[in-house]
Amino acid sequence: MPEKVLANLEPQIVWNIFEEITKIPRPSKKEEKIRVWAKSWAKDNKITCKEDTVGNLLLSKKASTGNEKLPTLVLQGHLDMVCQQNPDTKVDCEKDPLIVRTDGKTVYAEGTSLGADNGIGVALGFAALIDEELVHGPLEVLLTVDEETGMTGALRMKKGFFTGDYLLNLDSEILGEITISSAGGGDTILSLPVENISVKGWKGIRLEISGLQGGHSGIEIDKGRLNAIKVGVDALTRVQDYLSKQEDRNAKLLITNIFGGTVLNAIPSEFSCDFLVPKGNKAMVMKVLNHWKRYASSAMKDIEPKIAIKLSEIEAKEGFSAEQSANICSLLSELHHGMISMSLEIDGLVQTSNNLAVVKTLTDRVEISLSTRSSVDEELNEAREKAKSLGDSLGAEVNLTETYPGWTTDLDSPFLKLVKASYEEVLIKEVKLNAIHAGLECGMFLKLNSKLSVSSIGPTIKNVHTTEEYVEVESVLIIWEIVKKIIGSMGNLDDPGNITSFIRAP
């Protein structure tokens, strides 16, 4: 039996569960293994568990003796994680256990994202179900699938799947803050048809960009981090500009393969493109690219200190047509990436943004994925329509996926007051109420239950959706105490100011 890496961290009840979760591959849309594990865990611990047709799970536990009349509290998280991995790692986080490490202050994974978003939330919910010392009312732990790439689980959930009127979302990522509002959003998929043509006397070049910070496409979208796709397309555009000035009208750039980004909700940190140029232009094209490389590396080093740009010659005899290649470059160049507008009501909050998330070559098309977020429906729809219009003009097939709603908490909610009072009792200082430019599932649950009161909390998790992700150990201990405090205080909803320390069973 391998030694547990996190065995000495507190609270052990949470870290033991989280470490088990990290052993199970659980990328978005591929949560079968984690669902099997969760159902088995529930059975072993004599916890009632049910599953809906989408794959969402609800684990339920009856109230402690004498607390049957307390209102039901729903603890909520999601089963999937954003899988990101460094090129040199041997771990495939879609197939292998993560290599988890700790320095005592943080927990991280070697070469991959950690999945503390939202594995820690799941672990906190499970721990609440098996803490024998905790006195509680009826508890439900609601676990959704595919939160990270479309919120499919929450969008497809049927009314009545969970029963509680009070829901504590455990998917926030800053200690000392209660999330009370999140953005809505939707994705746009643009497909450009391509067909390989054979050429003779052309030379292949490969452009590779890596080492960018990437990051969460909502939380970090206004931090000035570079998008690897945009950086790469800038280089391709320089080549196109050079070739367009040549007397030979056949001097064009023909793309062979193009890839960038991996998931919709992460800023792309890597990009690669194989392309062809006429043999007679190859030397000057390489000169143009090397000049661009020196300029780009110097100009971008303050923003992206680890940026790596590699140029190499390759063997290739096929490429897309000049028109198709030009359309790909035009679309990637013109699609907006980054912040679109800032909130006029909340200082520092991004209101609307686009993330140019993924470009990939498939058998007969190049597919480009864009993720748009906004707290204003009109701006969300306008941004997506602009992308659609641009795609239409270049002959792309455009699919606007289903949007998910934003969410705002009633500031007079007794549940919010109870959560805040419980939080401050443990933290011993004032807690900030925060709105975020990221998507949480809370808005979808409110559509299922109009009486629902919702708040969101979580430990400090940094660099989510990247291979640099880590969670602060002490913050998990504090959040665990807060979760227990909230659970033990559900009888004080009529007077949330009258909160005493949670009572442990004799």
Tokens standing for 503?
Answer: 């009572």
Whether the CA torsion 445, 27, 52, 126 is positive or negative: it is: negative
Please tell me the distance from the alpha carbon of residue 201 to that of residue 208, in angstroms, as a whole number.
23
Please tell me the distance from the alpha carbon of residue 486 to that of residue 8, in angstroms, as a whole number.
26
Please tell me the distance from the alpha carbon of residue 460 to that of residue 350, in angstroms, as a whole number.
20
Please tell me the distance from the alpha carbon of residue 82 to that of residue 85, in angstroms, as a whole number.
10
Which helix (DSSP H) or strand (DSSP E) does residue 110 occupy? none
Contact 134, 502 (CB under 8 A): yes
Active site residue 147: yes
Active-site hit among 19, 31, 147, 177 = 147
DSSP, residue by residue, 91-108: --TTTS---EEE-SSEEE
Q: How far is CA 136 from CA 64, 229, 261, 488, 503, in A?
A: 5, 50, 44, 6, 9
Please tell me the distance from the alpha carbon of residue 338 to that of residue 350, in angstroms, as a whole number.
10
Active site residue 392: no
Active-site hit among 19, 31, 80, 173 = 80
Cis amide prior to 11 (ω within 30 degrees) = yes
3-state secondary structure 466-477: CCCCEEEHHHHH
DSSP, residue by residue, 221-237: TTTTPPPHHHHHHHHHH
Catalytic center residues:
80, 147
